[in-house]
Structures are given as C-alpha cells and as structure tokens.
C-alpha cells in the first residue's frame, strides 16, 4: 500500500520568497507522484507529475519538484512566491500504469503569502 505525508499543514512565506512544500511517500513499487493545487471551493488542478522520467520535474506557474528516491521525497518548490500562489497544495501517489484513477493524497498544506 502507498501513503503520503506532507510535513507542515500551514506554510507562510513573504511575497518574493522561496516556497518549499514537503512531501514524503511510501510505496512498495516505483510510484507515480503528483502535486495538485486547490483554490477555495474549487476542484484540484495538476501542477506537475513524476512518472519515472526526469527526476526534476517542472510544472505550471513556476513550480518544480525533485524526486529523491533515497529520501523518498518529492518536495515542491518555487523560487519566488506570488500572492496568487496562496492556496492549498496536495501531494499524491499512485502505483501502476492502470491506477491513474486511484490516488492516495496527503493531508494538504495551506500556503499563505504575505505582502
């Protein structure tokens, strides 16, 4: 069975500062990893995904994440925070090419961006 742990339910940064949202996973087989963003009363939007190609994955809105197998981590970063980045972020894992429909999500991290 797979699982995801997001460290820190709330992260606060100043506008222009580095954003770092932490995600550690547990999986008995090579995982597929995703980061999603959710704005209030909205669904989830995919930011980026790791599917065993490049370990450094670039996504939308300037976000990127690095897959580190030795640390079982997939942390999300952005060099410079923008006010519009304030939202809730979810890390998710799924296993197997036929299991796109069943992902296990972390508890989420709420990002606050201060002016």
Partner 1 sequence: KAGVTQTPRYLIKTRGQQVTLSCSPISGHRSVSWYQQTPGQGLQFLFEYFSETQRNKGNFPGRFSGRQFSNSRSEMNVSTLELGDSALYLCASSSRDRGKVNTEAFFGQGTRLTVV
From the CB of 114, what's the least distance to partner 1, in Å? 23
Residues that bind partner 1 (CB under 8 A): 32, 34, 36, 41-46, 49, 51-52, 90, 94, 96-108
Closest approach, Cβ 89 to partner 1, in A, equals 12
- Closest separation in Å from C-beta 36 to partner 1: 8
What is the spatial distance between Cα 19 and Cα 43, in angstroms, rounded to a whole number? 22
Nearer to partner 1, 25 or 90 (CB): 90
């Amino acid at each position: 069975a797979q699982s995801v742990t997001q460290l820190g339910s709330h992260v606060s940064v100043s506008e222009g500062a580095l954003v770092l949202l932490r995600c550690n996973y547990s999986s008995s087989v090579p995982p597929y990893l995703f980061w999603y963003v959710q704005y209030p009363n909205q669904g989830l939007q995919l930011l980026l995904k790791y599917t065993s190609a490049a370990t450094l994955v670039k996504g939308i809105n300037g976000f990127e994440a690095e897959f580190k197998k030795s640390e079982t981590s997939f942390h999300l970063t952005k060099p410079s925070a923008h006010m519009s980045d304030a939202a809730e972020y979810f890390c998710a894992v799924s296993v197997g090419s036929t299991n796109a429909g069943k992902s296990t999500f972390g508890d989420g991290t709420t990002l606050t961006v201060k002016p």
